Amino acid sequence: MSDGKSSKMRYVQTTCPYCGVGCTLNLVVNDGKLVGVEPYRRSPINEGKLCPKGMTCHEFVHSPDRLTKPLIKKDGEFVEASWDEALDLVAKKLRETSDKYGPKSLGFQVSCRTPNEECYIMQKIARVGFLTNNVDNCARICHGPSVAGLSLSFGSGAATNPFEDVLNSNLLLVWGSNAVEAHPLVGRRIAQAKLKGIPIIVIDPRYSPTARLADDWVRFNPSTHIALANSMMYWIIKEGKHDKEFIEKRTKGFDDLKKMVEKYADVENITGVPTEKVREIALKYAEAKNAVIIYCLGITELTTGTDNVRSMGNLAMLTGNIGRPGVGVNPLRGQNNVQGACDMGAYPNVYSGYQKCEDPAARKKMETAWGLKEGSLPDWYGSTLTEQINECGDPIKAMYIFALNPVVSYPDSNHVKRSLEKLDFLVVQDIFWTETCEYADVVLPGASFAEKDGTFTSGERRINRVRKAVDPPGDAKEDWEIFVLLAQKLGLKGFDFKSPQEIWDDMRKVTPSMAGCSYARLEKPESLHWPCPTEEHPGTPILHVDKFSAPDGLGTFFGLEYRPPAEVADAEYPFTLMTGRLIFHYHTRTQTDRARILHYEVPENYVQINTEDAKRLNIVRGEKVKVRSRRGESIAVARVTDEVGPGVLFMAMHFPEGANALTNTALDPLSKMPELKHCAVTVEKIKEGN
């Protein structure tokens, strides 16, 4: 970097492109190139701090590997094409498919790493252009159960309180979250709470870096959350520590819950946690003046995901820990715009702001706003992300994948590859060549976060500005612009946008909960939390203050029965595989592996195995082992450790031919979340010559 006085050097304030914390940072630009990152010190989110990913987020932008030209597959080979040729082909194929086979023959898959404006315009193309609800985003495979579960419990599927609010709490219950690695600046808040003397309970089968911050670390058998939560609630009620006034005035369904948890006094045989320990942590949580629940994918990525989330809601309502500072239920969103992609209606049953497609009034409103004939928008629940993969070939014939890499990030990679091969036509729009591009007919080069304007919405419902610092490389285009050009090729009306701001304003016009969030108001460092219905409204950092968001204003308890995972360890596959994220990588590493420091920290796939298991199998630290499931196999470096218990393995989700070569496609019936966190595997030494 130069001395900082160069007239060509400038700072561009923007939002980190990685996790859902949404840290503010400055991109340092010199001569039209990114040369560094500086934290933005006035941000209330990260207060001038960044994690290793944030500090290096500029490094991939000018990579020589970037896609710079549209590509069309001809005779099995990809050849460069003009934008006109590529978009003509995309428009023609999508239109032909829709005309021939109907609206359910198309699948639109939207990324959670792209700005809100691009999520909104893509779902609008799907709905206006093809009258289909087959549009979904990758929240489906991380926080779909949060959207479903919290909506059922509280009437809104979003986090209840801001991140910094943990410092107003008297107890942190961190469940199924390794925030220190997966959401490092929330991890910092947890560390600050520790320094302040706020007690921390971490419930996790693994002794993660976050568990090391805990006053009480509770190791439980993987995927037994509902049994454990029910037992905690049994003891809270038995000891009379529930908040009777809150339950009476603000909730319904308590009797169902009470009846259900009576069966769960002792769950040691299910969870592995001694009854006295369950009672102890339950009473600590209930007796704290203000207690907050923080959870993540350890709760959601299971076939019981929605019920697990509702169990968190049950616990919070039972103890009256809702609707004021220092309390609440807060899912930590994985990717930078997981919250926003859902908010924008890139979802198969809702428009922006969670207006339901099944509601005739909502459909009529959208038809009027979007210039469609009355009665034309579909009322049916579209296919979800992973259902679309299952439906490749029949009924889905053509698919549009925007900034996603399903071959690596969806469960059972072999199944995904076989499915994509069945499509008549596949478009992939991305910034790098990914494993999924191999299956495409057209590849369109898009722009990175640093090359476009827009907004990301963080896990605390805060809408943060994304600002363009440099131009995309070669012929690559800003993604919103690609969608505008495609809409023109399709002859669609209502897409003549000249900027992301115009798309945002189009969204605001039809979305009451974000109508007051103008770009001008988002300029402030603290930005705005939705709901924010008018230009005068201050935004809503804390939800459910006087009443819940449900139409009757009440929160709902659910009596939930424990169900085991879809696939449990047995004699043939005797280990339970858990998966998760690392601090040094993001998603399928297309961006982070191009930052030198991040690459060298974790250059290859590894698996954690318990010391006793490793000894029994004669596996030593650093040797390569083969992990197999009923669906595939993966080679990984063994890390021998007591962080995982006997019979349990842990593997990160970031590597090709890694965890998702093994994982199970079984779905949570309510949210359609696949069981990414739990499957049965075997581990073995690699014999010489293999």
Q: Which residues bind to ligand SF4, rule: CB under 6 A? A: 16, 18-19, 21-23, 46, 50-51, 53-54, 183-185
Kindly calculate the radius of gyration of the chain based on its CA atoms and give it in whole angstroms.
24
Nearer to ligand SF4, 172 or 595 (CB): 595
Task: Measure the CA angle with vertex 304, ends 245 and 190; round to 5°.
Answer: 65
Helix (H) or strand (E) run with residue 409 in it:
helix 406-409
The distance of closest approach from Cβ of residue 346 to ligand SF4 in the complex, given in angstroms and rounded to an integer, is 21
The distance of closest approach from Cβ of residue 16 to ligand SF4 in the complex, given in angstroms and rounded to an integer, is 3
- Provide the 10 A C-beta neighbour count for residue 68: 15
The distance of closest approach from Cβ of residue 39 to ligand SF4 in the complex, given in angstroms and rounded to an integer, is 8
607 vs 111, 180, 598, 601, 664, CA distance in Å? 28, 19, 18, 15, 18
158 vs 153, 342, 353, 381, CA distance in Å? 11, 10, 11, 21
Determine the Cα–Cα distance for residues 640 and 32; give it in Å rounded to an integer. 46
Question: Tokens 């990588």 appear where?
Answer: 585
Nearer to ligand SF4, 370 or 586 (CB): 586
Please tell me the number of Cα atoms within 13 Å of 668 on its side-chain side.
31
Cα–Cα nearest to 238, from 214, 216, 266? 266
Cβ(258)–Cβ(237) below 8 Å: yes
Nearer to ligand SF4, 333 or 489 (CB): 333
The distance of closest approach from Cβ of residue 198 to ligand SF4 in the complex, given in angstroms and rounded to an integer, is 20
Question: Tokens 């889905």 appear where?
Answer: 396
Nearer to ligand SF4, 432 or 449 (CB): 449
* Strand pairing class (648-652; 606-610): antiparallel
DSSP classification of residue 561:
-
The distance of closest approach from Cβ of residue 161 to ligand SF4 in the complex, given in angstroms and rounded to an integer, is 18
Nearer to ligand SF4, 23 or 86 (CB): 23
Could you give the residue ranges of the DSSP H alpha helices within 165-274?
179-182, 184-195, 225-238, 244-250, 254-261, 268-271
Cα–Cα nearest to 231, from 565, 562, 678? 562
Nearer to ligand SF4, 20 or 382 (CB): 20
Three-class SS of 15-56: ECCCECCCCEEEEEEECCEEEEEEECCCCCCCCCCCCHHHHC
The distance of closest approach from Cβ of residue 618 to ligand SF4 in the complex, given in angstroms and rounded to an integer, is 38
The distance of closest approach from Cβ of residue 296 to ligand SF4 in the complex, given in angstroms and rounded to an integer, is 13
Nearer to ligand SF4, 54 or 326 (CB): 54
Cβ(621)–Cβ(576) below 8 Å: no
Question: Tokens 């992973």 appear where?
Answer: 386
Tokens for 73, please give them. Answer: 């597959």
Cβ(210)–Cβ(190) below 8 Å: yes
Nearer to ligand SF4, 193 or 569 (CB): 193
Could you give the residue ranges of the DSSP H alpha helices within 239-375?
244-250, 254-261, 268-271, 275-287, 297-300, 305-318, 338-343, 360-369
The distance of closest approach from Cβ of residue 57 to ligand SF4 in the complex, given in angstroms and rounded to an integer, is 7
Residue 508 backbone phi and psi in degrees, to 5: -60, -35
Nearer to ligand SF4, 18 or 548 (CB): 18
The distance of closest approach from Cβ of residue 44 to ligand SF4 in the complex, given in angstroms and rounded to an integer, is 13
The distance of closest approach from Cβ of residue 529 to ligand SF4 in the complex, given in angstroms and rounded to an integer, is 16
Nearest residue to ligand SF4, by Cβ distance, number only: 54
The distance of closest approach from Cβ of residue 525 to ligand SF4 in the complex, given in angstroms and rounded to an integer, is 15
Nearer to ligand SF4, 26 or 105 (CB): 26
Cα–Cα nearest to 389, from 365, 357, 356, 412? 412
The distance of closest approach from Cβ of residue 374 to ligand SF4 in the complex, given in angstroms and rounded to an integer, is 43
The distance of closest approach from Cβ of residue 110 to ligand SF4 in the complex, given in angstroms and rounded to an integer, is 20
Nearer to ligand SF4, 166 or 614 (CB): 166
Tokens for 674, please give them. Answer: 């696949």
Nearer to ligand SF4, 22 or 103 (CB): 22
Nearer to ligand SF4, 126 or 185 (CB): 185
Determine the Cα–Cα distance for residues 617 and 629; give it in Å rounded to an integer. 17
